[in-house]
Amino acid sequence: MSFSDLGLAEPLVRALEAKGYTTPTPIQAQSIPTLLEGRDLLGIAQTGTGKTAAFVLPSIQHLSNAQKRVLPTHCRMLVLAPTRELAGQIADSARAYGQFSKMSVATVFGGTSINKNRQDVSRGVDILVATPGRLIDVVEQGFLNLSMIEILVLDEADQMLDLGFIHALKKIVRMLPKKRQTLFFSATMPVAIRELASQFLHDPATVTIKPAATTAERVDQYVTFVNQAEKQALLTITLQDPAIDRALVFTRTKHGADRVVKLLAGNGIASNAIHGNKSQPQRERALGEFKAGKVKILVATDIAARGIDVSGVSHVVNFELPNVAEQYVHRIGRTARAGASGIAVSFCADDEKPYLRDIERTTRQKINITALPEDFNAQAAKIKATRTQAIGADPAPREDRPRAERGPARPRATHAPTATGRNYGPSGRSGGSRQ
C-alpha cells in the first residue's frame, strides 16, 4: 500500500518521498483514511509508531482543501504536547510534511521568551504546536486567539496527565470552537485518560497500535546484576564498546544525570545531559549534537527524554531501572525506531530487583542476563570515579535530593567474574544465573 492509496494529495506524497518514506506504518494506514473523512480519532499508540505523520498529513490536507486564510493572532490547527522537545519535533515534522503545501508552522513553549512567542503568532499561523502552560499564558496575555481552530490534536495525553496538565487541557478546550475535529493520542488508556477522551471527542474512530508492552519485542534487552557502587565502572566500560553508535543513558534524577556526564568526562568519554534544570538552548544544543552524531552519548531523565525522536540510537542504557514498568518501555522505545532493531542494557542493583520483576511481568518477556566482564575488577580499578560514592542510589524517581539526605553509599562488594566478556550481539549472549 502506498501513501496515495490512502487518499493523500500529491504535495504530501512528494514531501514523504523527499523524506524517503514509501510505505505507511500501521497507524498511518489505519488513521489517515478515517481522518480524511473528518472523523474524530482516539489513537492508542506510542512514539515510534509513526503517529506524528498519521495526524499531521491528513490535517494538512484538510487545511489546504478548506483554503481559509488565517487571521492575525489566530491559528487553524493546534497540537498540544507534554514537553518542549516533543513539541519541537512535531513542528519539525509538520514543516517537512507541509513543505509543498505552503503551511505555516510555529511553536509556543516555555524556555523561550514570551515576546518571541508573540512575534511568531502575530501574523497568524496554520499549525501551532504548543505545551499547555505556555499556551495559556500567551492566550491570556492577548497575543493569541483560539476561536478559529479547526483541528485539535492532543499528543501523549497520558504523559500530559502525569505532568499535571489536566486543568490546563480542560481550560484550553473550553476556549476552542465546539465544531472542530479532535484527535487524541495516548500510549496507555487508564480510566482517567478514557474519561478525558470521552469529554473531548465526538463519536471517535479508535485505532490501537501495539500495546506498550509489545514494543519491547523489537529491542534486544540485557540486564547485568551489579552493585550500586560498581555501576560507574560498568557504565564506563559499557560505553567504551566500539559497537555503540549512539547511546541514550537514563538516570532517575537530574543530579544523577549530571554526575554521569562528569564521570564519563573524567574517563575521556564525551557526553551531554538533558533534563529539566537545563535551559532551552542547552537542551537544544545537547539534542542537536546527539542527532548530528557529534556527541554520541546523551544522558537523560525520563521526563526530558519523552518524545525524543532521534533515529540511529543504537543503545539505551538504563543506569538505573525505573520503578514504573511502562517507563522502561518508553525508555527502550527510544531505540528500535520505525522498525529498526536496537539494544537496551540495564544495570540492576539488589534493591532494583523488584522493579525488574515488574518490568518482566509487564513486557511478558524475560530479559537476557549478561554477566559482568571477566576482568571487571581490574578494569574498574583503572576507572576514575566522580566521587567516592556511587552515582544514582537515589531512592525514588524525579527527586533530586542532596546526597546528605540519602545516606551513605553502600560499600563496594567484590564480584566473582562469571563470563568471558560482554557482547550484546545475538551471537554473544552470555548466560549467567539470576542472582
Residue ranges in contact with ligand AMP by CB under 6 A: 21, 23-25, 28, 47-53, 309, 311, 337-338
Select 50 or 82, whichever has its Cβ closest to ligand AMP. 50
Read off the DSSP letter of residue 74. Answer: B
Select 25 or 117, whichever has its Cβ closest to ligand AMP. 25
Select 24 or 124, whichever has its Cβ closest to ligand AMP. 24
**Residue in 253, 163, 164, 222 with CA at minimum distance from that of residue 348:** 222
Residue nearest to ligand AMP (CB): 52
Q: Are strands 205-208 and 41-44 parallel, antiparallel or unpaired?
A: parallel
SS3 content of the chain, % helix, strand, coil (to 5): 40, 15, 40
| Cα separation, 219 vs 346, whole angstroms | 12
Contact yes or no for 257/251 (Cβ under 8 A): yes
Q: How far is the CB of 57 from ligand AMP (least distance, A)?
A: 9
Select 53 or 148, whichever has its Cβ closest to ligand AMP. 53
Calculate the alpha carbon distances from 391 to 136, 262, 264, 325 in Å: 38, 11, 12, 22
Q: How far is the CB of 431 from ligand AMP (least distance, A)?
A: 34
**Residue in 124, 151, 120, 118 with CA at minimum distance from that of residue 137:** 118
Q: How far is the CB of 56 from ligand AMP (least distance, A)?
A: 9
- Grid cell at residue 263: 564521570
Q: How far is the CB of 137 from ligand AMP (least distance, A)?
A: 27
Q: How far is the CB of 288 from ligand AMP (least distance, A)?
A: 16
Select 330 or 337, whichever has its Cβ closest to ligand AMP. 337
Q: How far is the CB of 19 from ligand AMP (least distance, A)?
A: 7
**CB-count exposure of residue 413 (10 Å: 0-12, 13-18, 19+):** exposed
Select 28 or 224, whichever has its Cβ closest to ligand AMP. 28
Contact yes or no for 270/297 (Cβ under 8 A): yes
